[in-house]
Every structure is written in C-alpha cells, then in structure tokens.
Amino acid sequence: MWWKEAVVYQIYPRSFYDSNGDGIGDLAGIIEKLDYLNGKKDSLGIDAIWLSPINPSPMIDFGYDISDYKDIDSIFGNLEVFKKLIKESKKRNIKILMDLVVNHTSDQHPWFIESRSSLENPKRDYYIWVDPVNGKPPNNWLGAFGGNAWEFDTETHQYYYHGFTVEQPDLNWRNKDVQKEIQDVIKFWLDLGVDGFRLDVVNYYFKDEKLRSNPIDLLKGLRPYDVQIHKYDRDRKETHSILKKFRKILDSYNGNRVSIGEVFIEPPGNPKLANSYLGENDELHMAFNFAFLYSSWNAFSFRDEIIAWEKALDQNGWPNYTLSNHDQIRHISRYKKGKETVPRAKLAALLLLSLRGTPFLYYGEEIGMEDQPLPKEKIQDPLGKKYWPIFSGRDRTRLPMCWDGSKYAGFSEVEPWLPLNRNYKEVNVENSLEDKNSLFYTYKNLLEIRRESKTLKKGDIEILKSNKEILAYLRTYKSERILVLINFTNSDQDCNLKKLDTKKLEIIFDTHNKFIKEKISDFYLYPNQGIIGKVI
Ligand code: NOJ
C-alpha cells in the first residue's frame, strides 16, 4: 500500500524539460531532471510521478487523443527511453503512474479508421454508431468541449459519439473485444514495470443503453452542456464491472499497483459518487478529489471539503487531495493577493502535505509558477480555440517549467511550444534553491517531515472547533498527536481551541520560522501563519 504513504507529482511531459532542442519536453528530459525530484540531498523529495499521456497521438488534445496504446509518441521518445525512465526512477525510489485514456481514442487510431470504413467492418462496433432518427442525432447529448456529441459520417450515414472533440470518438465499452483490448493494454504497461494508472474520465466509459436524452435544468449553468443533468451519458452502473476487472489485473501484480480515477463531476464534485467507484475495495484504489480546486481562500471552505470527503469514505476508502492540475488555473494564481501570494502558497502546501490522504502536486507549484493567460495567436488548447475570448483555455496552466533565468528558462535551447512565464527570471528552480526561505523549501521541508512521520502519513484526522478564521486539526497515531493550525487571514488570530486538553506544543514546522524549535503554550498565530506541532 505504498500509495497511501506516497506523494505524487504530476508532470505534463510537453512542459517539463526539453532534452533534444525541439521546444517540447520529452522523456529523456524527465530522466535528466529526476535528481531534482528525488534521490539526492537537494531533491524535492516526492515518491511517484504521474505522467500526462505520452502515447502516440495527433495531439489535438495534447495526448488525450491516443492513436496507439502500446507505444510512445516520437515527440517524447520511444519505448527504450521509457524503459530507461522506469529504471532510473526506480534507482531514486520514484514510482511511475501512466495516464490511461480509454474512454475515447483518437480518430486516427487504427481501430477507428477501420471502424468508420464500413458498416460491416469487424471493428464497427468498437465505437458507438447509430442511425439518424428522423434525420437527426438520436438524443440531446452534447460534447463536454462544446457542440453536438454526435458526428454524422457521410460515407456510412450513421452518427458516431464523441464526448469531447470530434477527433476523440468514444469507445464502445459494451463490446467485449474492446474490453479485452484495453485489459491487454493495462498488462502491457504493468509488464514494463509501471506502478499504476490515472484513469481519464473513468465515469464516462458507459452510456445509457437506450440512449435516453438527458434532463435539462436551465438554472444549472451557462453553456448548453452545463444545463444538462448528465444522467444518461455518464455514471452508468456498468462501469463498476469493468473497474472490477481492472482491479483484478492490478492486484495480480503483487498487489502493489495502483489506480486513481478521474471521476469527472461538476464543481465542486460529489465525494459520495466519486467514492462509489472504489466498490468494496475491489474497484479503483482512489477517486480523485477535486474539491480544493474550487475552494475559496478561507478556513471554512477547506474545512467543509475535508469533512465531506472523510465522511464519504468507508473504512477501505483512502482520501487524496490536489490543489492544481493541467486542466485548472494553478492555485497560486487563484489565491493571488499581492504580498500575501507566496505566504498563502506556503499555507496551501502545509495543508496539502499534512492532511490524511495521498497528496498530488502539479509540476512547478513547488516554486510558485503562476498561470499566465495567452494572447489568442498563442493558444493551442482546443477548448481555448473554441471558446476564446470567453474562455482562453488551459494552456495558461501548462507553461514550460522554469529551471533558471536564462533565455528559455533553462527549459529548452529554442523557443518553447508555449510562452514562458513573464516572471521566470525571478521565479525559477535555480533561484528557489538558493533562497532558504523560498516556497521550494517549504515543500521540501514538509515532504521530509511527512516522510518521517507515521502520524502524518497514516494517522487519523479530527477537525477541531476553533476560531472560524483558523483551520485546526489533530492527526493521531498510537499515542502521538500532531496539531496543525492554519491562519487564512492577514491578521493575528487567537486560535481559540476549545477542546484541546493541553496547551503545550513542540513545533516541528512553521511557515514563518518564528516558532521553530520552540515550545509554545499559547495558540496565537501571526498573519498567514501555519504551524505543525507535536502535542506534549
Ligand atoms: C480529462 C483530462 O484531464 C483533460 O485534459 C482531457 O482534455 C479530457 N479528459 C479528455 O480526455
């Protein structure tokens, strides 16, 4: 159960490090930077990497449209480099998680090319094809990226279903051969030594057998897609049987391979529904918790989400937390507020790394890389292209990693595929490593403290009643109690802990380094201060 004690670091491979001078990150680049992540004295100290997709792809959705499940896109390298990545990662105690994108393929996948070629093709049923009804699509289903989800094929006079772009046809999970093919894909990567998978939109696999139209609630959102109640195009019960099969495969590899599903539900999510995909400890190991991606900067917002997730899990379930990913605005930008920005980012790190559950970091958050909206001509994300200027897309959160202050931020020798952050000369890895007060060292120190502490990794959690501006919780393991206090405001606060039976703390971490190595007996916090202390 290594994954319960691990901290996972998400890499968006196109943007991590370009080793071959084409402006796009690659696997050899990740290998070169492994020491930054773990294994050396100066390393950040994470335990696992989740790689956003690296399989061959026409890159319409930057890898989330796969055209070959058993190879590596030449932009990123090849299978030999991938094997080297596994080997080098193992040497540094880093596990590797792949992105398993099997709700849909690319329209360039040979299965789809065959499938669309004729009504009789043996692979026709690999995808969801239907006849027009009165010359129209069979129901009101829409694509999550806009437009109708049904695309008419003029050659064979049927519609095919795509939950995302037209170039991402959905697989027909009711087809037994599709099921077998994907199980084979899973084994292929497990045999190569990967430690598990992140499952893209796992709750979209099955659609209603009768293709019933979704109900509408006009008050629910703005886009036509968002006013639909997605009763029939996702979260169908048949998904559970597939996840059980996946789990059996994973468990057959010494029981140490893991799956975490992206159960995509409208913000802020639905912990009960998400965790229903854990089955009875026989489906996913974890369902992504996206709640913090939508939390406001105050104690009650985070507190409510923690309580809701803890409540939704049964004794087998295991929580997880994430503040940023490749689809959402980075949290440092969401919580940006002048001089408070970095102190807030330090508090967010303290929260993420002291909760019960597996933390997921997003590359660059440890140095405080911000989002940067792009001008129209630089936009690459299909969503941004479609919705600009209302929504400029997700490129802004996928900018090249800033390694140093040189011309291309030490990311590449040529102009990178996306622009660099305007402030990369200040906010970069090199500067972060030189400044002991940087956000990087907050992460590094917290990661070290977490690694050494059974209580933080495994202990129970109890949210304490406190001053409402403060988030206070106790982590308990055997006889040890660790108290976490976070002041979300820019003013001094008396924590006002009512129930705690002692007032003595031995500080083990302090965002402000004021109390470090001290024993404190009054729970007063400075503005934007967070502490972790052993209750004595
Ligand atoms: C969810 C992924 O996180 C997102 O980046 C992608 O565009 C869609 N799934 C489609 O695969």
Cα–Cα distance between 423 and 103 in angstroms, integer?
Answer: 38
Domain boundary residue, one of 426, 450, 474: 450
- Residue of the CA atom closest to atom 5 of ligand 1: 327
User: Quick one: pLDDT at residue 504?
Assistant: 82
Q: How far is the CA of 64 from the centre of ligand 1 (A)?
A: 6
Cis peptide before 271 (omega within 30 of 0): no
As annotated, the active-site residues are 200, 262
Q: What is the per-residue pLDDT across 392-428, written as a single tens digit (0 to 9) for each? A: 999 999 999 999 999 999 999 999 999 999 999 999 9
Phi, psi angles (nearest 5°) of residue 288: -55, 135
User: Quick one: pLDDT at residue 518?
Assistant: 67
What is the atom index within ligand 1 of the atom nearest the CA of 101?
11
pTM of the model: 0.98
Contacts of 268 (CB under 8 A, 6+ apart): 290, 291, 293, 294, 295, 305
Helices (H), 219-270: 239-251
CA 269 to chain centre: 14
What is the atom index within ligand 1 of the atom nearest the CA of 103?
11
State whether 88 and 227 are in the same domain.
Answer: yes
Cα–Cα distance between 11 and 53 in angstroms, integer?
Answer: 10
- Residue of the CA atom closest to atom 6 of ligand 1: 64
Q: What is the per-residue pLDDT across 235-277, written as a single tens digit (0 to 9) for each? A: 999 999 999 999 999 999 998 999 999 999 988 899 999 999 9
Domain boundary residue, one of 450, 484, 510: 450
Strands 95-100 and 196-199, by their bridges, are parallel
Q: How far is the CA of 205 from the centre of ligand 1 (A)?
A: 13
> Quick check: is 371 in a domain?
yes
Q: How far is the CA of 168 from the centre of ligand 1 (A)?
A: 11
- Residue of the CA atom closest to atom 2 of ligand 1: 200
Q: How far is the CA of 327 from the centre of ligand 1 (A)?
A: 7
Helix or strand (DSSP H, E) at 87 = helix 79-91
Q: How far is the CA of 359 from the centre of ligand 1 (A)?
A: 20
Q: Of the residues 61, 168, 360, which should be mutated to test ligand 1's pocket, given the most ligand atoms within 8 Å of the CB?
A: 61
Phi, psi angles (nearest 5°) of residue 254: 55, 15
State whether 438 and 403 are in the same domain.
Answer: yes
CB 225 within 8 A of CB 144: yes
Return the residue matching tokens 């046809």: 169
Cα–Cα distance between 520 and 528 in angstroms, integer?
Answer: 18
HEC-encoded secondary structure of 134-169:
CCECCCCCECCCCCECEEEECCCCEEEECCCCCCCC
> Quick check: is 247 in a domain?
yes
Q: What is the DSSP string of 509-533?
A: EETTSSSTT-EE-S-EE-TT-EEEE
Those residues of the chain that have pLDDT short of 50 are none
User: Quick one: pLDDT at residue 514?
Assistant: 80
Cα–Cα distance between 171 and 155 in angstroms, integer?
Answer: 20
User: Quick one: pLDDT at residue 498?
Assistant: 78
CA 338 to chain centre: 27
Structure tokens at 316: 């087998």
What is the atom index within ligand 1 of the atom nearest the CA of 264?
1
Contacts of 320 (CB under 8 A, 6+ apart): 260, 286, 288, 289, 357, 358, 359, 360
- Residue of the CA atom closest to atom 8 of ligand 1: 64
Structure tokens at 359: 């933390």
State whether 369 and 510 are in the same domain.
Answer: no
- Residue of the CA atom closest to atom 11 of ligand 1: 64
State whether 216 and 285 are in the same domain.
Answer: yes
The domain spanning residue 138 has which CATH number?
A: 3.90.400.10
State whether 258 and 360 are in the same domain.
Answer: yes
> Quick check: is 167 in a domain?
no
The domain spanning residue 493 has which CATH number?
A: 2.60.40.1180
Which residues line ligand 1 at a C-beta cut-off of 6 Å?
61, 64, 101, 164, 200-201, 262, 326-327
What is the atom index within ligand 1 of the atom nearest the CA of 327?
5
Residue 198 sits at the vertex; the CA angle it makes with 306 and 212, to the nearest 5 degrees, is: 85
State whether 352 and 467 are in the same domain.
Answer: no
> Quick check: is 39 in a domain?
yes
Q: Of the residues 203, 327, 387, which should be mutated to test ligand 1's pocket, given the most ligand atoms within 8 Å of the CB?
A: 327
> Quick check: is 169 in a domain?
no
Closest among 53, 362, 365, 361 to 194, alpha carbons compared: 53
Closest among 317, 328, 234 to 280, alpha carbons compared: 317
Q: How far is the CA of 479 from the centre of ligand 1 (A)?
A: 43
- Domain range for 40 is 2-104+176-450
State whether 429 and 474 are in the same domain.
Answer: no
Domain boundary residue, one of 450, 468, 494: 450
The domain spanning residue 188 has which CATH number?
A: 3.20.20.80
> Quick check: is 199 in a domain?
yes
> Quick check: is 358 in a domain?
yes
Domain count of the fold of the chain: 3
Q: Of the residues 101, 234, 385, which should be mutated to test ligand 1's pocket, given the most ligand atoms within 8 Å of the CB?
A: 101
- Looking at residue 85, its amino acid is L
State whether 71 and 86 are in the same domain.
Answer: yes
User: Quick one: pLDDT at residue 251?
Assistant: 97
**Strands, E assignment, 325-449:** 358-362
Q: How far is the CA of 200 from the centre of ligand 1 (A)?
A: 7
User: Quick one: pLDDT at residue 500?
Assistant: 80
Cα–Cα distance between 76 and 13 in angstroms, integer?
Answer: 8
What is the atom index within ligand 1 of the atom nearest the CA of 383?
7
State whether 94 and 146 are in the same domain.
Answer: no
CB 368 within 8 A of CB 332: yes
What is the atom index within ligand 1 of the atom nearest the CA of 163?
10
Q: Of the residues 99, 106, 109, 164, which should be mutated to test ligand 1's pocket, given the most ligand atoms within 8 Å of the CB?
A: 164
Beta bridge mates, 153: 158
Residue 459: Cβ within 10 Å count: 18
Cis peptide before 169 (omega within 30 of 0): no
- Looking at residue 505, its amino acid is L
Handedness of CA 22, 28, 30, 34 (dihedral sign): negative
State whether 115 and 98 are in the same domain.
Answer: no
CA atoms within 13 A on the CB side of 258: 22
> Quick check: is 171 in a domain?
no
Q: What is the per-residue pLDDT across 325-340, written as a single tens digit (0 to 9) for each? A: 999 999 999 999 999 9
- Residue of the CA atom closest to atom 10 of ligand 1: 64
Q: How far is the CA of 264 from the centre of ligand 1 (A)?
A: 10
- Residue of the CA atom closest to atom 3 of ligand 1: 327
State whether 91 and 154 are in the same domain.
Answer: no
Handedness of CA 313, 315, 316, 322 (dihedral sign): positive
State whether 446 and 470 are in the same domain.
Answer: no
User: What does the radius of gyration of the chain's CA atoms come to, in whole angstroms?
Assistant: 24
- Looking at residue 484, its amino acid is V
